[in-house]
Structure 1
Amino acid sequence: METVLPAPLFARKNAAFAGAAFCCLLWGSAYPAIKSGYEIFQIATDDIASKVVFAGYRFLFAGLLLLFMLMQRRPIGRLSPRQCGQVALLGVTQTSLQYVFFYVGLAFTTGVKGSIMNATGTFFSVLLAHFIYQNDRLSHNKALGCALGFAGVMVVNLSSGSLDFSFSLMGDGSVVMAAFILSAATLYGKRISQTLDPMVMTGYQLAFGGLMLTLGGYVSGGTLTVHGLSSVLILGYLTLLSSVAFALWSVLLKYNRVGMIAPFNFLIPVSGALLSAIFLGENIFEWKYVIALVLVCSGIWWVNKVARR
């Protein structure tokens, strides 16, 4: 199948960087949107099952929206039984299982530690790519870049609360497991995208994974009640950003090395904190945002710096 956008565009470094930064900006905007969604849908802080239902509808609608847009231009049902199984496995791991571990982890740890632990996913991506791809080996520049990016994530969370050095298996361990699952599933998705249109792959995996989340949330006792137009708007925005960001990210990974794109994930907690400050009325004029952004951008630069011979 042919892709929606020409491959050469995403094979260019500048275009790939811009696309990756845009994806992370969209995912960062999900933080204040989700927090607003919890209030609008009146979901209690400890009601994990309802949060899973909320996430399930978000990804289910995102996948269906992407598939509906694609079917206007091309057939989307020409998948072999093998490809159906691959996409289903990708949906269960990358969307369903990853978010279950993430939400369970956040219920047993602080938001500060959860954000930092979740950033370990970038390290997992770079390390796994080192063992899987011959042209994506771990280097001194990548190690330094990842360290700088992780430092930026820690800085942006410094004044959000106390950060102790204890480790909770149920809380911190679940968040780290979610990060590992997402990294491994992303590499698996890159492999599938070599034989299947990444847009179609993303649409099906989001829809299937979202459906599993929704059913699992309801079985666990979760509910979701629409409260006026604001509920529709916030869910609509989350649906749109998920379909755009995940589809574009899949295309970027198809044509670029994982080690080049993955470090942009460090931008997510930084942009999420900035956008939360803007839209949730928090103080944006803090030194930590500037330092965190400088560290993250420096880390991305070091990861993609070409070593001179």
Structure 2
Amino acid sequence: MKKFFLSTTVLAIFACLLWATPFTAIKIGLKYTTPLQFAGLRFFISGLLILPFIKDLKFKILESKRRWKFVLWVALLQTTFLYGLFYMGISYVPGALGAMLIGAQPLFAAIMAHLMLSNDKMSWKKVFAILLGMAGVCIISLGRSDFVFSTTIPLGVGILILNNIVGSTGNVIVSRDAKDMPPRVLASFSMIIGGIGLMLASIPIENPSWNFNLPGEYWISLGWLAMVSAFAITIWFGLLQRPNVKVSNLNTWKFIIPIFGAFLSWMILPDENPDTISIIGMVIIGCSLLTVNYLNRKAI
């Protein structure tokens, strides 16, 4: 039973389930503060939440000094640049288009893994399975009513594509170079540093207010987002460091995030109900995941 709950599949699905929950909390938080400031606080607190769960913290800090350049690089790629680009890009495009572009991350992860790793090459079958998953995400996204074209769309598309490249490169670097670093240590230190980076970037870009006399719903949303990041990113870093886990295969599980997100909306929001287009998209994503898992088992 313990082996089942620690399996890569179960942990990947759990991390994606966590990542599907923040959208409402983000909307609440952004009513009271600017995007980069809010994201910076979120990840700074996330990193602090992990610290008490690191054994021999003082020793781990001393050990990590040897690899401070690597930790800084991960912090910039996986937190500061990734979420800075995400919040900037998503503000320039309709929600449906943004969801499709973010949903394309598994394809970018497969491409970057193919270019940077010798043991994670793309095949036509894997490309087909990933494109199938992307088609499912597009179908779900196009079912939304906010797909309206504007002059800012090309800029937003470019920023979100760069966001996918940055995030995928960060995944590859963690998988390739972090074998000797405990996932909690890497997640904690990188999020603390990355969160500080986002808050510093918010000062010249957003000129945010630092008045924190805000309603309770703001602090509840910030606390939830911090916990989600602390758990999900620690789990994801741990999975990327497993010797038998390939970056391209692991990232295909992110296709289920829009499925979880849709189910949560149907359960929580009174005006959200299942529709045919979303169901078709979910079935296609399911076929994509089954195909990838079949290819994985066949390769073993």
* TM-score normalised by L of structure 2: 0.88
Q: Which amino acid aligns with 1:33?
A: A
Q: Which amino acid aligns with 2:143?
A: S
Q: Does 1:30 align with 2:19?
A: no
1:266 alignment partner in structure 2: 255
1:3 alignment partner in structure 2: none
The answer to which of 186-195 and 127-136 deviates more is 127-136
Cα distance between partner residues in 2 of 1:240 and 1:149: 28
2:208 alignment partner in structure 1: 222
Q: 1:265 aligns to what SS in structure 2?
A: helix
Give the C-alpha shift of residue 164 in structure 1.
6.1
Cα distance between partner residues in 1 of 2:241 and 2:91: 34
| Closer/same/farther in 2, CA of residues 223 and 152 from structure 1, 3 Å limit | farther
Which of residues 207, 211, 229 in structure 1 aligns to 2:196?
A: 211
Contact 2:108–2:168 (Cα < 8 Å) also in 1: yes
The answer to which of 136-145 and 56-65 deviates more is 136-145
Give the C-alpha shift of residue 120 in structure 1.
2.1
2:44 alignment partner in structure 1: 60
Post-superposition Cα deviations, 1:91-116, rounded to whole Å, max 9, x if no partner, equal 11111111121122122111111111
Alignment of 1:148-163 (within 5 A): 148-161=132-145, 162=147
Cα distance between partner residues in 2 of 1:23 and 1:98: 18
- Give the unaligned 5+ runs of structure 2: none
Q: Which amino acid aligns with 2:18?
A: L
Give the C-alpha shift of residue 124 in structure 1.
1.1
Q: Which amino acid aligns with 2:255?
A: F
Runs of 4+ in 1 over 4 A off after TM superposition: 71-74, 163-167
- Identity of aligned pairs, percent? 25
How many equivalent residue pairs?
292
Give the C-alpha shift of residue 235 in structure 1.
1.0
Q: Which amino acid aligns with 1:96?
A: T
2:276 alignment partner in structure 1: 287
Which of residues 138, 150, 158 in structure 2 aligns to 1:173?
A: 158
Q: Does 1:107 align with 2:91?
A: yes
Give the C-alpha shift of residue 268 in structure 1.
1.7
Post-superposition Cα deviations, 1:95-147, rounded to whole Å, max 9, x if no partner, equal 11111211221221111111111122211111221233333221233112101
The answer to which of 123-132 and 164-173 deviates more is 164-173
Cα distance between partner residues in 2 of 1:75 and 1:156: 48
Contact 1:55–1:210 (Cα < 8 Å) also in 2: yes
| Closer/same/farther in 2, CA of residues 167 and 304 from structure 1, 3 Å limit | farther
* TM-score normalised by L of structure 1: 0.86
Cα distance between partner residues in 2 of 1:281 and 1:116: 24
Give the C-alpha shift of residue 73 in structure 1.
7.3
Q: Which amino acid aligns with 1:153?
A: V
- Give the unaligned 5+ runs of structure 1: 1-5, 44-49
Q: Does 1:200 align with 2:188?
A: no
